[in-house]
Amino acid sequence: MADSKVETIARLAQWKIDSFGPTNPYKRSDPFKIGIWNWYLQLSVEKNRVVYIRLFPEPSRVSKEQPPLARFVIRVSTSAFNRRPYVSPIHERLLRSCDDFACPIDINFQGRFVIDVEFLDLKICPINGGEGSSIWPSDGLMQSQASQSTLRCLSRMLDDSIHADVTINSSDGSLQAHKAILSASSPVFLSMFQHDLKEKESSTIDIEDMTSESCMALLSYLYGTISQEDFWRHRLALLSAANKYDIVDLKDTCEESLLEDINSGNVLERLQEAWLYQLDKLKKGCLMYLLDFGKIYDVGEEMNDFFRLADRDLVVEMFQELLAVWKPT
């Protein structure tokens, strides 16, 4: 029948019905496809002469093994003069059969009318429970996919030196990079290329206090492709570079990382790094580890060298903290 066909576009299904009433109180649409499922719409007059709309997937292996969790809105409009359309609230249902969803419609269905079903989301519901996964890319997923694509491009630019326009000379080698990436990551690099400095004229940057491996780790971070292992191995060198070139996010990341694995073997070194680079969180963490937790007794042999070599102001602050902790109550 002509009025059993459902037209679809994007996430909208539309069923135009030519006639429905007491003489024809039941209609069922042809199957239509939205997502990975075939669907049916069904219209019927049931108990107490109430009209119900049902939406359900076609019985199949797909709907059995991957039942849909649908989020949708139904809109019904009639040809009757001055009749306002019915718009349902947003429904969210797990749909397996025609018994899973029935929407009563408080409207007089004499003559022609149109049923629109707008699918807001469709998720595959795991048979064994758990949260369903949407079949349609969300904004977050699209953003993630775009970010991954961008990172792949940046990785190729770095690894293959695609249109590289600056040379970085390290203590034991040289690397190729891009002025635009460096300038966007660091105000210091930006200033180098904006003003008539030797870096701009020669298109070279001398970073002689870093090895080529550490420089590559720095570039990998700036290009968004650094691995956790490389970051961990070079984080002290990265911290120094972040401080030198005013790369704030890298400096914060290094501080958080160094704070995570303080122990008796590195706490004094970390304390000096915190003082040198003005890392307040790391400094407080080291002092708390030594004084509040009493680990100062575990580093007794190293304390002499620390007091001899550390900055005088740091030693004074440490003694003040020590006195505060040991102050009688």
* 129-150 pLDDT, tens digit each: 778 888 886 656 667 778 888 8
Last residue of a domain, one of 222, 248, 274: 248
CA distance 140 to 146: 10
- Clarify whether residues 222 and 314 are in a common domain: no
pLDDT reading at 239 higher than 80: yes
pTM: 0.62
- Clarify whether residues 55 and 114 are in a common domain: yes
- Clarify whether residues 106 and 129 are in a common domain: yes
* pLDDT digits 0-9 by tens, 269-289: 999 899 899 999 999 998 888
Average pLDDT in the 285-314 region? 82
Domain contains 301: yes
Q: How many CB atoms lie within 10 A of CB 178?
A: 20
Quick one: 112 exposed, middle or buried, by C-beta within 10 A (0-12, 13-18, 19+)? middle
Q: How many CB atoms lie within 10 A of CB 215?
A: 24
- Amino acid 285 reads G
Last residue of a domain, one of 224, 248, 272: 248
- Higher-confidence position of 253 and 19: 253
- Dihedral (C-alpha) 154, 159, 161, 163: value to the nearest 10 degrees? -20
At residue 208 the predicted structure's pLDDT band, cuts being 50, 70 and 90, is: very high
- Identify the bridge partners of residue 51 per DSSP, sorted by sequence position: 45, 105
| 201-to-1, 132, 179, 187 alpha-carbon distances in Å | 78, 57, 12, 18
Q: Which two tokens stand for residue 276?
A: 């040198």
* pLDDT digits 0-9 by tens, 223-235: 999 999 999 999 9
Average pLDDT in the 118-125 region? 93
Q: Which domain holds residue 171?
A: 160-248
Domain contains 253: no
Domain containing residue 317: CATH number: 1.25.40
